[in-house]
Structure 1
Amino acid sequence: MNGALKHALHTLTARTAVRGVSDEALPIRADLPHARLAACAALNGPQPVVPLEALRGLAVASAATLSADLLQVQANWAVARYVGSFEHKKDHLVLSEPGEAVCGNQRRVLSEELGIAFGLHTGSRWMASRADPASPIWVADVDQLPARLVSWAAKSEHRPDFVLAARRPGHTNFTVALVESKGTRTPSHVKKAWRAGADRSHPQFEI
């Protein structure tokens, strides 16, 4: 195994953190005056992550077909695509130099897919902070769910990206959350994306 591949694989499998910001002082709140926002302590501060786990989560959640027989192969496409795209910097995960150099349409794809990967990873941590500790976290692409289960979304062109579900502590019913992922990098695009995201989600949500 050459040195570059060894380093890239180590970066994917090492536990690190991404920065999480969710507090009452978040500037984006002023740009969403009609949404009822609440800060989320579980998402504020460094968020532990193993990049490999986030990429496998992206691959499974966005699989074109839902087949257990194909899952072993489907779960690895994002890892193969983004190996070498990350680096550890001061105990945080950042894009590597080759990752930063991606441009044009491929940059849009990278931003969208990594937005989903780490959005779902963070959303699952959010759900775990509210769910029964013994409950798995179920993740589903809204567009792959039967229409009868997402009739609330089918009436509008504005749909969230994913649904998370887990058992409530001490109950047999479930807590359900909607996830809207945005893969933007500049403050102006973040504001524009969150305005659109607020319209796709429940009028009360955490950010």
Structure 2
Amino acid sequence: MDLRYALALMGSPINVFGRSDATLAAEAQQRLKSSIAFGLPYLDGGITVRPVQILHELAVATRFAYAPDVFEVYRYWALMRYVGGFDRTKAMPPALTLSAAARKVRGHQRAIMSEEFGVGMSVVLARRWFEHTFPGLVMDTVDVDVAIASGMVDKPKGRRADFVLSATAPGARRMSAHGVLESKGATRSDKHARDIPAGAGQVEATTIQGKAVPGIVGGVLAGAELRYAAVGVQPLHSGGPVDLGEVGRLDGGTRVAKQVDASRAATDVFGTVLARYAEIADVPELFLRLAPARLRAQRRPTGRRGQAAQEVVNQVVYTGTRSRVPLPGGEMEAFLGVDRELIGALWEGDFATINRVRARPSRRGDVTAPAPDAQAARDEIVSTSTPATALVLRALRD
């Protein structure tokens, strides 16, 4: 597959087949004790998505899954290899499928690929569920292990969901946990069929400060075809989102205890969300300022993780890092960065600006058009669908 063909495909809106119906919900219901599984009509049949958005969501959601050392940073940028993992069917209208090269991957590497596709696609689905269920709020994904360490999530006896879906109230410092997400990836249809019921049980088992919350299970089948399945899970006895309290000053947590109204869980979780922006922008000093103590100890910066760079997308300046990947047909440059205005607001602790920048409607859309000049050249694609961040993939000219 030629690099420019791959980029053109990644930047084009295309249908992904999927289901979220009553039959699937009935299958998931068998694994639930105190919740109701239900189909999501707006996800049933398929959705239109630009594949670059799947890669963008994967890169942001899994940032803290990679340690800040040479080997792990290399693995993180290696996610960009999935640019060549997609193709389209010849049928009309075309649908997203795996490329011939991706279908040749076997064994453990194939399982890893399906799991990572599952994370990226599940976050895309969860964002649509969140916007439909909690309109006007900006969804954040928080790794459930981080949430357990903060005391927000109760540690279940069995398996748990992958992410907490949280949000801050518009114009305020108050934070709530609105639900959880379990992502699944499979290479065989039989496992894909079992994944959704199993995932529903994991959603039910994940409680926040002793309270059950709603959630979504998203699973991807990356076999001979590419498709998804999803169901919603609603507890029978739930008061809705769990109020985590007021976010304290974000200076590494050293002053939170002095604030009577501040919540340690809310401060730690929101600090983790914001510290992820600092790490993506590669500003170590800001990361140390924002991250809660446990995260600072785990991820103490050891130096820059890429070539520092800036990109201007739709008149917005993003600061971050870029890396180059040699591929058939040329060299690809990948940039991942954060809105520069947000970085300034994080330094100032300006919550009003933090919330305003992250809540810009254009950032929450599912489909973002490429830059006008890139449409003609077909050598650059852009995604800004994850709040306040941008992923730019560019084919370098010889």
What TM-score do you get using the length of structure 2 for normalisation? 0.44
Residue 31 of structure 1: how far off its partner (Å): 6.1
Residues 147 and 79 of structure 1, relative CA distance in 2, 3 Å threshold:
closer
Residue 166 of structure 1: how far off its partner (Å): 3.8
Q: Is the 8 A contact 2:87 2:96 kept in 1?
A: yes
**CA distance, structure 1, for counterparts of residue 52 and residue 29 of structure 2:** 34
**CA distance, structure 2, for counterparts of residue 205 and residue 183 of structure 1:** 18
1:22 to 20, 23, 33: 20
Consecutive unaligned residues in structure 2, runs of 5 or more: 67-72, 206-213, 217-230, 232-398
Give the 3-state SS of the residue equivalent to 1:181 in structure 2. Answer: strand
Residue 33 of structure 1: how far off its partner (Å): 1.7
**CA distance, structure 2, for counterparts of residue 164 and residue 53 of structure 1:** 18
Residue 144 of structure 1: aligned partner: 146
Give the 3-state SS of the residue equivalent to 1:127 in structure 2. Answer: helix
Residue 111 of structure 2: aligned partner: 108
Residues 60 and 159 of structure 1, relative CA distance in 2, 3 Å threshold:
same
Q: Is the 8 A contact 1:56 1:79 kept in 2?
A: no
Q: Is the 8 A contact 2:179 2:215 kept in 1?
A: no
Q: Is the 8 A contact 2:31 2:197 kept in 1?
A: no
Give the 3-state SS of the residue equivalent to 2:184 in structure 1. Answer: coil
**CA distance, structure 2, for counterparts of residue 124 and residue 37 of structure 1:** 18
Consecutive unaligned residues in structure 1, runs of 5 or more: 67-72
Residue 182 of structure 1: how far off its partner (Å): 0.9
Residue 145 of structure 1: how far off its partner (Å): 2.7
Greater Cα shift, 158-167 or 13-22: 158-167
Residue 285 of structure 2: aligned partner: none
Q: Is the 8 A contact 1:168 1:175 kept in 2?
A: no
What TM-score do you get using the length of structure 1 for normalisation? 0.80
**CA distance, structure 2, for counterparts of residue 34 and residue 65 of structure 1:** 29
Residue 81 of structure 2: aligned partner: 81
**CA distance, structure 2, for counterparts of residue 156 and residue 17 of structure 1:** 39
**CA distance, structure 2, for counterparts of residue 78 and residue 15 of structure 1:** 24
Residue 115 of structure 1: how far off its partner (Å): 0.6
1:95 matched to 2:98? The reply is yes
C-alpha distance after superposition, 1:182-202 (max 9, x if no partner): 111433212332343122112
Residues 146 and 193 of structure 1, relative CA distance in 2, 3 Å threshold:
closer
Structure 2 counterpart of 1:128, which letter? Answer: E
Residues 78 and 14 of structure 1, relative CA distance in 2, 3 Å threshold:
farther
Give the 3-state SS of the residue equivalent to 1:105 in structure 2. Answer: helix
> Bigger relative contact order, structure 1 or 2, given CA contacts below 8 A and separation 6+?
1
Q: May I ask how many residue pairs the two structures share in their alignment?
A: 195
C-alpha distance after superposition, 1:73-119 (max 9, x if no partner): 89x73652201110122432110111111111100100100011101
Residue 198 of structure 2: aligned partner: 196
Q: Is the 8 A contact 1:131 1:175 kept in 2?
A: no
Q: Is the 8 A contact 1:87 1:93 kept in 2?
A: yes
Residue 30 of structure 2: aligned partner: 33
Q: Is the 8 A contact 1:17 1:92 kept in 2?
A: yes
Residue 70 of structure 1: aligned partner: none
Residue 156 of structure 1: how far off its partner (Å): 2.2
**CA distance, structure 2, for counterparts of residue 162 and residue 180 of structure 1:** 7
**CA distance, structure 1, for counterparts of residue 169 and residue 54 of structure 2:** 24
Q: Is the 8 A contact 1:9 1:83 kept in 2?
A: yes
Structure 2 counterpart of 1:22, which letter? Answer: S
Residue 159 of structure 1: aligned partner: 160
Structure 1 counterpart of 2:83, which letter? Answer: V
Greater Cα shift, 176-185 or 116-125: 176-185
Question: As a proportion of its length, which structure holds more strand?
Answer: 2
Greater Cα shift, 116-125 or 3-12: 3-12
Q: Is the 8 A contact 1:124 1:164 kept in 2?
A: no
Runs (4 or more) in structure 1 with deviation over 3 Å come to 148-151, 166-169, 171-175, 203-206
Residue 52 of structure 1: how far off its partner (Å): 1.0
**CA distance, structure 2, for counterparts of residue 110 and residue 202 of structure 1:** 26
Q: Is the 8 A contact 1:56 1:78 kept in 2?
A: no
Residue 273 of structure 2: aligned partner: none
Give the 3-state SS of the residue equivalent to 2:204 in structure 1. Answer: coil
**CA distance, structure 2, for counterparts of residue 195 and residue 130 of structure 1:** 21
Query: What percentage of residue pairs aligned between the two structures are identical?
Result: 29
C-alpha distance after superposition, 1:134-175 (max 9, x if no partner): x322111112335244432x1324110112224689x97746
Q: Is the 8 A contact 2:147 2:164 kept in 1?
A: no
Structure 2 counterpart of 1:82, which letter? Answer: Y
Give the 3-state SS of the residue equivalent to 1:160 in structure 2. Answer: coil
Residue 44 of structure 2: aligned partner: 44
